[in-house]
């Protein structure tokens, strides 16, 4: 089930955010993610966030947007490779005509995931891959 984030979800979401970033971005120092926690915690509370709730009422993953910008998509490690990320992405694609996002070029799994879901690379440099998706007409 996918539902809008509730205030009580914030701690679980932050744990998923931190562990997922550390897992996916081994090329970034672990301390960097720890230092980003306060700012991300504040930003998430201002974002449009949807949670995927597993059968045991656990938050298995979440997706966050600011307008049409996909700020993040994260799935807890024990729930990965089960289609949860795809379901979360399809959910927001069903409610938007266009989405943009940025990814690290070193995170090839994420870049490939978004390509499989209709995103195209619009700009890329050594630090960033900017991707866009437009709803089919």
pLDDT band at residue 137 under the 50/70/90 scheme: confident
Backbone angles phi, psi at 78, to 5 degrees: -75, -10
pLDDT band at residue 40 under the 50/70/90 scheme: very high
Beta-sheet pairing, 48-53 with 59-66: antiparallel
Please check the confidence at residue 111 and state whether its pLDDT lies above 90: yes
Percent of residues, the chain, with pLDDT higher than 70: 100
- Enter the DSSP assignment of 54: P
Dihedral angle computed from the Cα positions of residues 23, 25, 26 and 31, in that order, rounded to the nearest 10 degrees: -90
- According to the model, what pLDDT value does residue 28 have? 87
pTM, whole model, 2 decimals? 0.93
Residue with tokens 């926690």: 37
| Protein fold of 2-95 | Aminopeptidase (3.40.630)
Please check the confidence at residue 132 and state whether its pLDDT lies above 90: yes
């Amino acid at each position: 089930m996918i539902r809008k984030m509730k205030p009580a979800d914030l701690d679980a979401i932050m744990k998923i955010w931190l562990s997922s970033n550390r897992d996916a971005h081994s090329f970034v120092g672990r301390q960097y993610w720890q230092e980003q926690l306060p700012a991300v915690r504040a930003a998430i509370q201002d974002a449009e966030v949807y949670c995927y709730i597993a059968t045991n009422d656990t938050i298995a993953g979440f997706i966050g947007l600011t307008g049409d910008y996909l700020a993040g998509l994260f799935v807890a490690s024990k729930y990965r490779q089960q289609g949860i990320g795809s379901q979360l992405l399809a959910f927001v694609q069903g409610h938007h005509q266009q989405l943009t996002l940025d990814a690290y070029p070193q995170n090839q799994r994420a870049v490939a995931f978004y390509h499989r879901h209709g995103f195209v690379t619009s700009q890329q440099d050594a630090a960033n891959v900017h991707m866009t998706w437009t709803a089919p007409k």
